Chains A and B, each alone.
Chain A
């Protein structure tokens, strides 16, 4: 199976978030962009499927400014992905997931792809638009929020679960298919030091994104704001558990107005 994993460089979890001087978006200055969140699970699942299905390959693709994608792709190689491809952008499309899907499309179309795996949503904007957008461009079916992804070789079908409001659904789909992954079979592995060292010399193929089509509707970042810092909880003083309960119910009713 030829598996493509699409990976978004996102700010490291330790990042102190801060808006750019014009206030329109996150200031990327000094921020370390890494492989994180559901994309890590997507890599893990791709590697597990490769181990389970003889003759499979995993191709990592990332869209963004080269200094960000390089970090992510080297991490993917160190974890065991077979090839790495960067789609270079200036980073100004941040905030336009459809533009990101367009960027990924060119790279994905240029390589064999039975299964396209992504995280169900990016670790930063948490938007989850790219899997569906990319699938529509590719003319392939797609599913987000996927868990427990398996390949049934006898039936030539993917089988997976999906957590929906009504309960846990199970689905089957032929290939090719796009999957937005919620959870791999296990927690993402960590790379071993020799593999990390070796990944530094691994080749990264480069692809240019398509020119943006002028008639397409665009999504433009306008403001990035931090909420006023949570001042910490208002602590309820009490002498007995009953008093604590009465106080909390009163607060929920009268102050927070969330009592049913």
Chain B
């Protein structure tokens, strides 16, 4: 079988988002030499983003030419994506692991009569079927499923795959096949976005490294220690609910059951006890480091590496050491 893959672009300030570039890498490794890989982009800046697929060795992409999609939710692209998937004879529609990508997968699966999986960490062809693997129960187990019927819609877990290597080629951009968008999907409107303040490092759910602080930090002023450690690593800053409930830092930084789920390459938990509601949001991180002065804290049970000690001594020393080693 020579599988054909359609990659749905997510456009972030006119460029392909990191989750989309991760999807491009997966598509290239999954599709054989004869398989087609085609991108599709919609909304504001679609044509420019579609051309960018060429950076990652993808020679063909669709741009959805429909001004009604500018400012409309990504789901308004559903019918176009399904039509494009049929037009290229796709076996797989691949979405990045962003909020929008995960949100779109179920919709596209129904529109294109496909099987679906979200948050996938491994995928491989098994004959006509696609075998996917994903963590479940907050990382306490994994499940493997077969998506049968020759049509699969899959979103990837963020950072489970490396970004596609740059391999410049020219991407021929075509107009996406026509589709009819239900007016109901054009009615919702975005009324604002409170951007993550610039200069505070990468967005939490996107970052390959996250440094989180908990109640052990004691005061909002001391939380600066966590931010300095994060900055030294180019990491995003997270927090336990004890911190966000106390108003030391905004709830947008909260990791856990009622906050963000993150799965970075490296998660450093400082002064966090490891309550189950926190653990479910970070347990599938690849490497977990815990710094806590209580050797019996639950966080050490899920951590790979632990330092038992006073964070007020350890964290500044760690930040200084990282500066020294990275030459910054």
Q: A residues engaging B (CB < 8 A)? A: 11, 13, 17, 25-26, 37, 41, 95-98, 101, 124-137, 139-145, 159, 162-174, 177, 180, 182-183, 187, 215-227, 230, 232-236, 238, 240-242, 244-246, 248-249, 251-253, 256, 258-260
Given A136-B107, A233-B288: 5 more A-B contacts, CB < 8 Å: A144-B103, A163-B99, A171-B190, A223-B143, A258-B287
Task: Pick the contact of B184: A130, A140, A164, A246 (CB < 8 A).
Answer: A140
**A-B pairs with beta carbons under 8 Å apart, 22 shown:** A41-B258, A96-B115, A132-B106, A136-B78, A136-B106, A144-B102, A162-B99, A170-B192, A170-B193, A170-B194, A216-B115, A217-B113, A218-B149, A220-B148, A221-B143, A222-B131, A234-B304, A235-B306, A245-B314, A249-B325, A256-B266, A258-B286
Q: Which of B35-43, B167-175, B203-211, B213-221 contacts A (4 or more CB under 8 A)?
A: B203-211
Chain A hits for B117, CB < 8 A: 127, 129, 219
Q: Is A224 within 8 A of B306, CB to CB?
A: no
Interchain CA distance A251-B266 in the complex, whole Å? 12
> Which residues 95-120 of B sit at the A interface, judged by CB distance below 8 A?
98-100, 102-111, 113-119
When A and B form their complex, which 5 residue pairs have the shortest distance between CB atoms, in order from nearest? Answer: A217-B149, A132-B106, A233-B306, A133-B106, A173-B188
Q: Is A129 within 8 A of B203, CB to CB?
A: no
B252 within 8 A of A: yes
Q: Is A167 within 8 A of B308, CB to CB?
A: no
Inter-chain contact total with CB atoms closer than 8 Å: 280
B206–chain A nearest beta-carbon distance, Å: 5
Q: B residues engaging A (CB < 8 A)? A: 12, 17, 19, 73, 75, 78, 98-100, 102-111, 113-119, 131, 134-152, 182, 184-185, 187-196, 203, 205-206, 208-209, 233-234, 252, 257-258, 260-261, 265-266, 276, 286-290, 295, 300-309, 313-314, 316-318, 320-322, 325-326
Q: Taking A145-B103, A166-B195 as contacts, is the C-beta distance between A233 and B300 under 8 angstroms?
A: yes
Chain B hits for A133, CB < 8 A: 106-107, 109-110, 116
Q: Is B258 within 8 A of A128, CB to CB?
A: no
Q: Is A217 within 8 A of B234, CB to CB?
A: no
Chain B hits for A174, CB < 8 A: 187-188
Q: Is A124 within 8 A of B148, CB to CB?
A: no
Interchain CA distance A41-B138 in the complex, whole Å? 18
Which residue of chain A is the closest to B12 with respect to CB atoms? A166
The interface centre, meaning the residue of B78, B137, B303 with most chain A CB atoms within 10 A of its CB, is B137
Q: Is B105 within 8 A of A132, CB to CB?
A: yes
Q: Is A183 within 8 A of B258, CB to CB?
A: yes
Interchain CA distance A251-B196 in the complex, whole Å? 31
Q: At the interface, is chain A mostly helix, strand, loop or mixed?
A: mixed
A213–chain B nearest beta-carbon distance, Å: 9
Interchain CA distance A142-B188 in the complex, whole Å? 9
A162–chain B nearest beta-carbon distance, Å: 7
Interchain CA distance A218-B216 in the complex, whole Å? 48
Chain A hits for B116, CB < 8 A: 97-98, 129, 133, 219
B148–chain A nearest beta-carbon distance, Å: 5
